[in-house]
Amino acid sequence: MLFVAPWLITFIWFTLGPFIASFYLSFTSYRFHDFPTWIGFENYTRLFTDDAKFVRSVLNTLYYTAVHVPGIMLLAFFVALLLNQKVRGQPIFRTAFYLPSVTAGVATAFLWIVLLQPNGLINQALGLVGIEGPRWLTSTAWAMPALILMSFWGLGTTMIIYLAALQGIPQHLYEAASVDGAGVVRKMWHVTVPMMTPAIFLTAVLQIIGSWQVFTQALIVTNGGPRDSTLFILLHLYRTGFEYFQMGYASAIAWILFVIILIFTIIQFGFARRWVYYEGANER
C-alpha cells in the first residue's frame, strides 16, 4: 500500500474525485463565484429542448465520426499492406508514416492552416490538374471535410496496429490458400481480413471514442466555425464551462458525451462476437 499510495492518491484526487464531482455538478447551477445550487434535471432538460448549439454539435460530431472512422481505417489498412512489403528503405517509410501521429496537435493544426489557405499548397496542387480549390476553412460546406482530411494525416497509430497484425498472420494459411488455387483477392478476403479482425475491432473502438473527443483541431483551425459548421460536442462543452462559466451545464454535457461513447462501445462489443475471430477460441 505504501508503494501504490502515490498512484492511488493521484487517481482519487485527479480522476475519481472530479468524476464524482462532475456528476453532482450536472444537477446544479454553478458559475465558480458562488456555491452550486441544486436544480435537479433542469440542465438535461435544457440540453434537449432549448440548446440548438448542443444539437448541432452532436450532429457535427456524428458527421465527422461517420466519415473519419471508416476513412482512416481503410487508409491505414492500405498503408500497412504497402509497408509490410520487403522493399529497400522499409524502416524509413514506416517512420515517415508514423511520425505525424506523434507530432504535437497544435503544431499540426497550424501547419494545416497554412496548407488549406486559398493559395496554399493543396489548392495549388489542385490547380495543376485544372481544379479550382475551395475555400476550405471559410466555407460551411468545406470546413468539416477540411478537418476530416487533416485527421487522415494522423493514421500512424492505426497503421502500426495493422502492421503488427499483418506480421502475426501465420504464413502456412497463405500457402494452404495457394494450394487451393486462391488468388490475391481471395487470400485477402478469406485469410488476411479474418485474421486481422481483432485489430480492426480494436481500432474501430478507439477511433470512434477519439472522434467524439475532437477538440484541438476544431479550436485552433476553425474555432467551431464558420457558422458552427465545425462545432464539436467537446468544443461546445469547453466553451460552456470555461468561456461562459456555466460549470453545472458543462458537466451535464460531459455526462451526455460519456453516455454516447458508452452506447457506441457497448454496441460494438455486442456485435464483435459475430465477426471478430480470435485464434484458438472455441467460438467465433
pLDDT at residue 117 in the model: 92
71-110 core/surface letters (b: 16 or more CB in 10 A; e: else): bbbeebbebbeebbeeeeeeeeebeebbeebeeeeeebbe
pLDDT at residue 278 in the model: 83
C-alpha cell at 279: 485464434
HSE, CB side, 13 Å, CA atoms: give it for residue 140: 4
Grid-cell match 480470435, residue found = 278
Q: Is the dihedral of CA 158, 160, 163, 165 positive or negative?
A: negative
Please tell me the CATH code under which domain 5-275 is placed: 1.10.3720.10
pLDDT at residue 281 in the model: 61
pLDDT at residue 32 in the model: 83
If the chain, 284 residues long, is cut into consecutive pieces of 10 residues, what is the mean pLDDT of each piece?
94 94 96 90 94 96 97 96 89 91 88 92 92 92 95 93 93 90 90 93 96 93 93 96 94 97 96 85 50
Smallest CA-to-CA distance from 58 within 48, 46, 68, 67 is with 48
Q: What ranges do the domains of the chain cover?
A: 5-275
